[in-house]
Amino acid sequence: MEEPTSPPPAEDPSDPRVSNRTRFELELEFVQSLANPFYLQTLGQQRILDDPAFINYLAYLKYWSEKEYARFIHYPHALHHLELLQHAQFREEVKKDEWREYLNQKQFDHWRTWRDPAYLDGSKGDVKPDLNTDADAKVDASAAVDDPMTEEHPQGLKTAPV
């Protein structure tokens, strides 16, 4: 029978390694929260984005865009929004509901298509897909065109998500 192990000793907050890790985790969490358009709008509406000290803090956080730190980011839109927040016009616009919805839709569209090979190789541009390959596929595609809960496949057909 194994003896019960005691819990690890509490970390000393005065230890530089502990304080550095804590700071790293807090800043990472904050930067990732910038991926949320609703959070950005809240910051704007509460006038936090107008505070010069906060604007300086956002400029300081740009180091997260460096490869050494960016590898820890799970939501790449956070880095894009961090870059946009460096501009006064964006900080002003993000307060508006329409702008928040625009960002939210752009983010959704990116997540919906980022693994679609047709989008990845650049062939999705202005080229219209050829649906004449299969009569059943044409019927299915035309039935699903107006359904907002559809997913587009590389062949150009729209079907319900799996």
CB-CB contact of 103 with 111 (8 Å): no
Model-wide pTM > 0.75: no
Half-sphere exposure of 76 (CA within 13 A, CB side): 7
Whether 133 is covered by a domain: the verdict is no
Rounded to whole angstroms, the Cα distance separating 77 from 83 reads 10
Whether 127 is covered by a domain: the verdict is no
pLDDT (tens digit per residue) in 104-131? 898 888 878 776 666 566 665 544 444 3
Tell how far CA 125 is from the center of its chain: 23
Whether 156 is covered by a domain: the verdict is no
CATH assignment at residue 67: 1.10.10.1340
CB-CB contact of 83 with 92 (8 Å): no
Rounded to whole angstroms, the Cα distance separating 130 from 157 reads 9
Q: Which two tokens stand for residue 47?
A: 């006038």
Q: What is the number of domains present in the chain?
A: 1
Rounded to whole angstroms, the Cα distance separating 30 from 114 reads 24
Burial class (CB in 10 A: 0-12, 13-18, 19+), 98: exposed
Whether 31 is covered by a domain: the verdict is yes
Helix, strand, coil percentages in the chain from 3-state DSSP, rounded to 5:
55, 0, 40
Whether 129 is covered by a domain: the verdict is no
Whether 56 is covered by a domain: the verdict is yes
Whether 41 is covered by a domain: the verdict is yes
Whether 87 is covered by a domain: the verdict is yes
- Domain containing 78 equals 16-115
Residues in the chain: 162
From first to last of its 162 residues, the chain has per-residue pLDDT tens of 566 676 666 677 778 888 999 999 999 999 999 999 999 999 999 999 999 999 999 999 999 999 999 999 999 899 999 999 999 999 999 999 998 999 889 888 887 877 666 656 666 554 444 434 343 443 344 334 433 333 443 434 343 443
